[in-house]
Structure 1
Amino acid sequence: MSNAVEQVRTTHNDNLHVVAAQHSEDAMKRIVWAAMVGSVIEWFDFSVYGYLAAVMGKVFFASSTPTVQIIASLATFAIAFLARPFGGVICGALGDRHGRKQVLNMTLFVMAGATFCIGLIPSQASIGIAAPLLLILMRLLQGLSAGGEISAAAIYVAEHCEDRHRTIKTAWVEVGCISGFVLGASTSFALHEIFTDTQLVEWAWRIPFFFAAPMALVGLYIRAKLEESPLFVGARRSGELGRVSVGMQFKQLRDHGSVMLQSAGMIIVTNITLFTVLSYIPTYLNQTLHLPGHLSLALNLAPMMGLVVLIPVFARVAERLGRKPMMITASVGILLLAQPCFKMLGSGEMWQQLLALMILNTALAMLISSILAQIPSLFPLKVRFMAMALSYNVSVALFAGTAPLINAWLIDVTGNPLMPAYYLMFGSLLGLAALIASTDRTGRPMSG
């Protein structure tokens, strides 16, 4: 009799473990899905301006020459990145004091509002200098939002998942980011196909910016059901996270200066590659190599869609072989292949251009498959958000978000169409130095 009762108890307990494990897995899927969908919306809003840079130059800088128009438009694109460190500080302070979930919702709301307002701004021909000034203001708000979004999403997912699955889980956040870029590029391509150049400049460019409002409502609805990071809640209850001032948070970061430099180097190689390949190359093909606007976008779309597929594949490989070897391999590949790839882009042969884009996107997939697991793992919980947000956004503001502007300027000054390749090589050298000095925590607990 007692044996039968014990067997029933054992079976009951086993069933409870199965149900708990299933509940945990279902909850993790909801967390990853919410972070990914929010990232799609956030990065569609942010990137669509870059894909319409040539059109936006004609709308907001109409009194300038074509070359100045595109440089001014890309400078406005870059301005948003100058605001990102300030957004990172604000969101980092809030995230380390009040939680990750609140920052996720706030950044999505601000991004959508600023994007929608860009669609309302009259052209320079209508209101003069006020038009580019209003555009700059809205891009600054977008930059403040973007400064917190990627760090909040990455840390939120990283703090929920098991150590052995952190690479693949956080990689889905990057899938969301790249899907936002793909959606932005696809929308821009459709606009070029459906409307004439005159219609685009007069009014059709506004359409994707108006998408921001309904998309944000969907994202906020999904994210509203999320719970706070369990690591953050546990640290708050134990008293590990006190309500310290921003100044005190900066003092705490001093002990992690060398790690922040390592983080910055990895972010530089990843994001110089990202913003050159995804944001600048369509403009490069159009303005420097004189391909039609719709063809420039179409050439970039197929490899970019492949990128979405490759990210989780490389994340799985990195879980077995290590994030550090994966990112080092990609950085070496960029160092060796950037110049040949840009020579192929300038060949005029479509198959060579597609091959070059596939090579560059593959290297990018290898980098971003691991970056959002690698960076949060370097820092202890009490400074994790601020440290990641600051190192991430300062690096992106100085080197990566400005990459389209720097590349366009370098080509204009030197007349050399290979200058973007040299800038990619510069970023890869910084990344290699940082990666070699860093610790690989693949499959292990995060720092602290």
Structure 2
Amino acid sequence: MSSNQSSPGGQGSTLPPLTREIDLTPIQRKTARRSVAGSAIGNAIEWFDYGIYGYLAIYVSQLFFTFDGDSDSALPLILTFATFAVSFLVRPLGGVVLGPLGDRIGRQKVLIFTIIMISLSTAAIGLLPSFDSIGFAAPILLILLRMLQGFSAGGEYAGAAIFMSEHAPDDKRGFFGSFLEFGTLAGASAAAILCTTLAFIVGDDGMLEGWWRLPFLLTLPLGLVALWMRRHLSESETFVDDVKEPGEKQTAIGALVSLLKNYPLQVLKLFGFVILINVAFYLVLTYMPTYLSTTLDQSTAESTFSLVIIQLLMMAVIVPFGALSDRIGRKPQLIAASIGFTVFSVPAVMLIQTGSVIAQITGLGILGLFLVMIISTISSTLPALFPTAVRYSGFAIGYNISTAIFGGTAASANTWLIDQTGNVLIPGFYLAGAGLIGLISVLSFKETAGRSLRGNVIPGSDDSKRIAAGEHLVGKINK
């Protein structure tokens, strides 16, 4: 049906103007909900793992990187965050291996592997002896385990986002996709609450004596729950149909070459915007407790309290923001957030630095608002940059290379810059620069709200009834 044909829906139809035909595949509500839950719980565990390392960095630095006995030096903390960055440097390797593998053998199989690897490597950190017990073997083992985390994370987030997006109905992809990032915030919030509560109950001395291990060890039972859920998931019709097409199966190297040859601009666009995503996420939700502890001499419990409040507020609004992007489009929301980071990051950090609890929460709230506007749309926006046959490869490789360079180094770079310059507003300038890069990238995006990956609708919905009547469903946003 062409765009100038009338709808067969009859008089009184409220269909939007027809702009194009799309292929529609019915999906069950139960399948959509199960897919979202299976994707979100793994994502929650991944960010719980990364979160506890960031929140416990002040203790990890003293236990694993105080080589000369001088715990007051900035070096142990810098080395701790450098180890944090190591896992990110390995993520592109995970993306190169696991992304094409997910395009060939299926998203679900790779997601089962990633959740096993993340859970085991994180729990193993909780069993490591300290530097005082086994010397330099302690930080070396810590680095190796962080590398295992990074390799598996290289396939986890991209796979979860794609798995969810391919199961979601087209006109509600922002709504469904926001639950994946709800899992992100839930994991980060759980990490913050657990670490804060532990530090408050046992104190810094108690944490150093062994209580720091508990959050890492809890990953094992959480991983078992996620594994059980993912074993009961099925591949989307979008993926199943595409892998049946002749010539679509490729080796990992072949998929990588095809990706870089045929989709260089898509990879570049994703790379640029992910700079903002990761710098904002890791500075605001992971680095901030350490930043407050070192620049304002706050205790771990005090420095994490404000952040927990902000994360809970973000959880409350992330799904509405995802649904909003289905109505107004992804680009307006992403542009507004990028401008917000560019203009208001430095003033927000100035508020945080006043030391007032109210001002601190206000400053974090400003940054949290712009961040939630972005992350509520990630899993509905970025997978749409690539076709199904290379979607996992494109997302995983582009996302993880950008994350390795800018996300993993954000904390250590800011710690070093503050130590060298004495300027406590460095995080604000860092965020503003990332905001400008993100703005340039998102301006090049095509609007994808309401557009189809292959066209999924839920049986029984208004859209499926329209299809049954012989009508063609089109995107809510017309171009």
Say whether residues 1:355 and 2:359 are aligned partners: no
Partners of 2:184 and 2:151 in 1: how far apart? 17
Residue 51 of structure 2 corresponds to residue 47 of structure 1: yes
Q: Deviations over 1:336-362 (max 9, x none)?
A: 100001111111211111100111101
Say if 2:204 is the partner of 1:197: yes
- 1:59 paired residue number: 63
**Of the candidates 369, 376, 392, which is equivalent to residue 383 of structure 2?**
376
Cα pair 1:268 1:430 within 8 Å, conserved: yes
The aligned residue for residue 150 of structure 2 is 143
Distance in 1 separating the partners of 2:389 and 2:410: 32
Give the conservation status (yes or no) of the 8 Å contact 1:240–1:382: no
Of residues 82, 93, 98, the one that matches 2:100 is 93
Residue 346 of structure 1, aligned match among 333, 350, 353:
353
CA distance in 2, matches of 1:324, 1:191: 41
Give the structure 2 partner of residue 427 of structure 1.
434
Deviation, structure 1 residue 313: 1.2
Q: Following superposition of structure 1 onto structure 2, how do residues 231-310 of structure 1 map, counting pairs within 5 Å?
A: 231-242=238-249, 244-253=250-259, 254-310=261-317
- 2:337 pairs, out of 330, 341, 346, with 330
Moved more, 58-67 or 114-123: 58-67
SS at match of 2:244: helix
1:90: how far off? 1.3
Matched, 1:33 2:37: yes
Q: How do 1:212-227 and structure 2 match up within 5 A?
A: 212-227=219-234
Higher helix share: 1
Distance 1:371 1:122, change over 3 A: same
Q: Counterpart of 2:448?
A: 441
2:185 and 2:90 mapped to 1: Cα distance? 21
Whether the 8 Å contact between 2:95 and 2:400 is mirrored in structure 1 is yes
2:191 corresponds to which of 170, 184, 202: 184
Structure 1: runs of 5+ lacking an equivalent: 1-20
Cα deviation, residue 371, structure 1: 1.4
Q: Which stretch of the first structure deviates more once superposed, 387-396 or 65-74?
A: 65-74
Deviation at 1:196, TM superposition (A): 2.6
2:416 equivalent to 1:416 = no
Contact (CA 8 Å) 2:83, 2:146: kept in 1 or not? yes
Q: Deviations over 1:389-413 (max 9, x none)?
A: 0110011110112111111111011
Q: State the partner residue of 1:153.
A: 160
**How far off its partner does 1:447 sit?**
8.7
1:70-89 map, 5 Å: 70-89=77-96
User: SS in structure 2 opposite 1:438?
Assistant: coil
Secondary structure of 2:367's match?
A: helix
Distance in 2 between the 1:108 and 1:175 partners?
A: 18
Q: What is the alpha-carbon distance in structure 2 between the residues aligned to residue 387 and residue 96 of structure 1? A: 10
Question: What is the distance in 2 between the residues matched to 1:168 and 1:86?
Answer: 31
* Superposition map of 1:396-411 within 5 A: 396-411=403-418
1:238 deviates by 2.6
Whole-angstrom distance in 2 between the partners of 1:191 and 1:107: 28
2:237 to 213, 230, 240: 230
- SS of residue paired to 1:159: helix
Q: 1:319 aligns with which of 326, 334, 353?
A: 326
Partner of residue 174 from structure 2, selected from 153, 167, 177: 167
Deviation at 1:136, TM superposition (A): 0.2
SS of the residue aligned with 1:366? helix
CA distance in 2, matches of 1:386, 1:23: 25
Aligned to 2:130: 123
CA distance in 1, matches of 2:189, 2:411: 18
TM-score by length of 1: 0.93
Where in structure 2 are there 5+ consecutive unaligned residues? Answer: 1-24, 456-479
CA distance in 2, matches of 1:26, 1:117: 35
Q: Tell me how many residue pairs correspond in the alignment.
A: 427
Cα offsets for 1:96-116 (capped at 9, x unmatched): 110000111110000001011
In the alignment, the residues of structure 2 paired with residue 175 and residue 358 of structure 1 have an alpha-carbon distance, to the nearest angstrom, of 17
Deviation at 1:46, TM superposition (A): 2.5
Using a 3 Å threshold, how does the CA distance of structure 1 residues 240 and 381 change in structure 2: closer, same or farther? Answer: farther
Q: Which residue of 2 aligns with 1:211?
A: 218
Aligned-residue RMSD, C-alpha: 1.5
Q: Which has the higher contact order (CA 8 A, sep 6+)?
A: 2
Tell me, yes or no, if the aligned pair for 2:27 and 2:167 is still in contact at 8 Å: no
CA contact (8 A) 2:238 2:454 kept: no
- SS of 2:167's equivalent in the other structure is coil
| Aligned 8 A contact 1:379 1:447 in 2 | no
